[in-house]
Amino acid sequence: MLTRAGYSVAAARVPPYCGLQQAAADRRWLPSGTAGCPVSRADAEAAAPGTRALEAVLARVSSTTSSPVGRDRLAWLVVTRASPIAAPLVAFCGPATAMRCVPRPVATVTAVVFVDAHTGQPLEVLPIGMPPIGRMVPVPAIVQPAIGAVVRPGG
């Protein structure tokens, strides 16, 4: 998927002293990402927009497009899942009862967020596939309470 979108990814090499730097950052003695070390995974996940980080990996990333990622950048690739997208769908109790419009979650958006490993700033968001919305159910009639009219599909 990343290759088709114009990105190449390679293993990241981190200086051996970065473990000490991260331990000092965890104790708040140093800011995360100092001394040429990457920001922590937790900081990268917190910087990525989305409600939940599913996974993250530190890598060297290059883009073949005019992307903010650029060439040979050390970055966290954070896979996030955003809040469900809510859309008004018709819910009904049966064919003889009135209809009502109720927001229902129809999809969640999963994306790869490229976070600069030195600054902790998100660079780019690459959405990856959305699940199908589902099948539509024909409705016999919809009562529109605001105007009191009954609307029948196709008529």
Tell me: the pLDDT tens digits for 17-42? 888 888 888 888 888 777 788 998 98
Paired tokens of 42? 């937790």
Q: Sign of the C-alpha dihedral, residues 95, 97, 99, 102?
A: negative
Q: Which of 60, 45, 32 is nearest to 112 (CA)?
A: 45
Report the alpha-carbon distance of residue 38 to residue 73 in Å, rounded.
Answer: 11
Report the alpha-carbon distance of residue 63 to residue 47 in Å, rounded.
Answer: 21
Question: 102 — alpha (psi -120 to 50), left (phi > 0) or beta?
Answer: beta
For the chain, the structural domain boundaries read: 7-151
Structure confidence by residue, pLDDT tens digits, 106-154: 556 788 899 999 898 999 888 886 544 443 333 344 444 444 444 445 5
pLDDT at 22: 83
Structure confidence by residue, pLDDT tens digits, 31-85: 877 778 899 898 899 988 877 888 999 999 999 888 888 898 999 999 998 765 5
CA distances from 64 to 61, 73, 127, 147 (A): 10, 13, 18, 55
| Contact yes or no for 127/144 (Cβ under 8 A) | no
pLDDT at 9: 92
Mean pLDDT, the chain, whole residue set: 74
